[in-house]
Amino acid sequence: MGVRRDNIRNIAIIAHVDHGKTTLVDKMLAQSGVFRANEQVVERVMDSHDLEREKGITILAKNTAVNYEGVTINIIDTPGHADFGGEVERIMKMVNGVLLVVDAFEGCMPQTRFVLRKALEQNLVPVVVVNKIDRENARPLEVVDQVIDLFIDLGATEEQLEFPVVYASGLKGTASLSHQEPGENLEPLFKAIIEHIPAPEGELEEPLQMQVTLLDYNDYLGRIGIGRIHRGVIKNGSQVSAVRRDGRIETCRISKLFGFQGLNRVEINEASMGDIVAVAGLGEINVGETICSPDAPLALPLLKIDEPTIQMSFIVNNSPFAGREGEPVTSRKLGARLMKEMETDVSLRVQETDSPEIFSVAGRGELHLAILVETMRREGLEFQVSKPEVIYREMGGILCEPFEYLVLDIPEEYVGPVMEKLGARKGDLLNMVNTNGHVRLEYSIPARGLVGFRTEFLTDTRGYGIMNHSFEEYKPYRGEITSRKNGVLIAWETGTATNYGLLSIEDRGTLFIIPGTEVYEGMIVGENSREQDIVVNVCKEKALTNMRSSTKEETVKLKAPRLFTLEQALEYLGDDEYLEVTPKSFRLRKKFLKKADREKYEKQKKSLVG
């Protein structure tokens, strides 16, 4: 017979990037007495990963527990970015409801849509939090209407449409049931969660069943599986069976069992149906696998995980500067590091290729792969990557490609050039709304049409444009999209770039380097103003004829070069180029460093096309 555990609520908190959900969780923790009065609390405690703090986004799902009037509220913070959808889907299996946080000014955004669709598909109960109501130009009632439209659009049931709304200011730590009253604390929010989110129900007396939905790793304990207990009781030190993804059954002993209290894991002796726990001692446990009683080794259905849509090659660094700034990795070490990433990131696929030095890595989008590159770089590793490319699929005999749902918010005066660019990139305009001099454009566009678009978009809108997109679906292939039009300036020899050498080629295009930069033959040092690639000598020294002319050039100033971030460099890459990544530098280079080899490659390519 099913039992309800009224002292537990399991919820996922979902929102668009930067709508304030992590700040809201900070305040919930503070007000529930998780932190001691004298404890120093870091802002955005949930974003513990360095990159999350820098980019202001949540990448990895994390869970915390808040106690309110004897009820444990397990809150799982989900990534708002569509590239981390693999995380989102699994979390939905652990919870009974969702806290949907929406900005009172910006309203519903693509990632809100993406995550909410996943929640509604699982029939989860929503509580809507209109956050930042103290913002200037906040329009809470319009935003609630937008949320209702979004729910209807996503096919919500009548019960799901009856959602409660809480108006909050995450920054101030206040909530209210009326948009006109600021509230004094977050009590209305806690009450709404306890009242509306169902308590977990299940069998307490039946044999144990728990599905691993998240993974963690600890140097002492090895792999740790995190998940919700579906039925029965789990005890520390007990023997359990792990049903692997391929159906094999292995017997393990639980070496440590943890529950959650605030942001900490605390060791516990036992937990039962409805609890979210972390378990160590399960060997090479994987996401989706079931931990169960050895007497009844029944697996729960495997979790469906969205397939990757973008792939790129990770290559052993073979540039002339390999090993200067970081730890050069052998192919064995590079492969092992990528395989290790797959242990905790279920949306990632790593495959060996014909060449032992090249690995094909597929993920859920450019950002997903860029975060992996950046993480490895910060570990002190050196390697190279190729241009990100979309993954095509054959569906019903038709070649199909991934499409993205794109939303742009831009000042009115920049609409023309942006729409022109999206037309050339095979985008279909779905909707256009003009409000107070700002235009919101909605597009359906091939994912490859967005590769390299963000940089152009920010230039075209003078940095005022806001761009968001999420995976839509696979649709029939749209034909050729012209990529980068300009050629590049390629270094002629290995050496140090001089002021004189750079001045002599400055009028050829845009430079990517400054005087004193060390370059090698085949490295890309700038963009040509014309279509073809040209080889240039940036290390040229001025011949000293007399003292006066030798100092004359020092008064001539070079224009500021264009310096790339990692994402911009990945977007910029051409088909015949690599990005060399080291802990200190990003270097764009040609696959073939010698001019003769490049010409040979071009001839072969033309003969194949011809």
Domain match, 87 and 195 both = yes
pLDDT number for residue 57: 38
Beta bridge partners of 165: 128
Q: Does the annotation list 22 as a binding residue?
A: yes
| Cβ atoms of 240 and 292 closer than 8 Å | yes
Q: Does the annotation list 18 as a binding residue?
A: yes
Q: Does the annotation list 134 as a binding residue?
A: yes
Tell me, yes or no, whether 380 lies in a domain.
no
Tokens encoding 376? 């490895």
Domain count, the chain: 4
pLDDT number for residue 54: 43
Tell me, yes or no, whether 435 lies in a domain.
yes
**How far from 146 is each of 50, 102, 343, 434, CA to CA, in Å?**
34, 10, 39, 15
Tell me, yes or no, whether 112 lies in a domain.
yes
Last residue of a domain, one of 272, 292, 312: 292
Domain match, 402 and 435 both = yes
d(CA 54, CA 200): 36
Q: Looking at residue 440, which CATH number applies to its domain?
A: 3.30.70.240
Domain match, 128 and 262 both = no
d(CA 489, CA 525): 6
Domain match, 285 and 426 both = no
Residue with tokens 């696998």: 289
Dihedral over Cα of 56, 57, 62, 64: its sign: positive
- Per the document, the length of the chain is 610
Q: Does the annotation list 131 as a binding residue?
A: yes
Which of these, 294, 211, 204, 298, lies nearest to 253 by C-alpha position?
A: 294
Tell me, yes or no, whether 388 lies in a domain.
no
Domain match, 457 and 493 both = no
Q: Does the annotation list 23 as a binding residue?
A: yes
**How far from 522 is each of 267, 534, 535, 577, CA to CA, in Å?**
56, 11, 8, 10
| Cβ atoms of 505 and 526 closer than 8 Å | yes
Tell me, yes or no, whether 359 lies in a domain.
no
Domain match, 21 and 101 both = yes
Q: Does the annotation list 55 as a binding residue?
A: no
Tell me, yes or no, whether 535 lies in a domain.
yes
d(CA 87, CA 67): 25
Helices 415-424 and 453-460, axial angle in degrees (round to 10): 160
pLDDT number for residue 171: 77
pLDDT number for residue 587: 95
Low-confidence ranges of the chain (pLDDT < 50): 35-61, 80-83, 550, 553
Phi and psi, residue 258, nearest 5°: -120, 145
Last residue of a domain, one of 239, 265, 292: 292
Torsion of the alpha carbons at 64, 67, 71 and 76, rounded to the nearest 10? -10
Q: Looking at residue 235, which CATH number applies to its domain?
A: 2.40.30.10
Domain match, 208 and 189 both = no
Tell me, yes or no, whether 251 lies in a domain.
yes
Q: Does the annotation list 96 as a binding residue?
A: no
pLDDT number for residue 132: 82
Beta bridge partners of 239: 253
Domain match, 214 and 179 both = no
Domain match, 419 and 543 both = no
Tell me, yes or no, whether 367 lies in a domain.
no
Domain match, 397 and 278 both = no
Please tell me the pTM assigned to this model.
0.70
Residues spanned by the domain of 156: 3-201
Q: Looking at residue 519, which CATH number applies to its domain?
A: 2.40.50.250
Beta bridge partners of 14: 100
Domain match, 428 and 514 both = no
Q: Does the annotation list 19 as a binding residue?
A: yes
d(CA 359, CA 343): 16
Q: Looking at residue 46, which CATH number applies to its domain?
A: 3.40.50.300
Domain match, 412 and 471 both = yes
Last residue of a domain, one of 292, 310, 332: 292
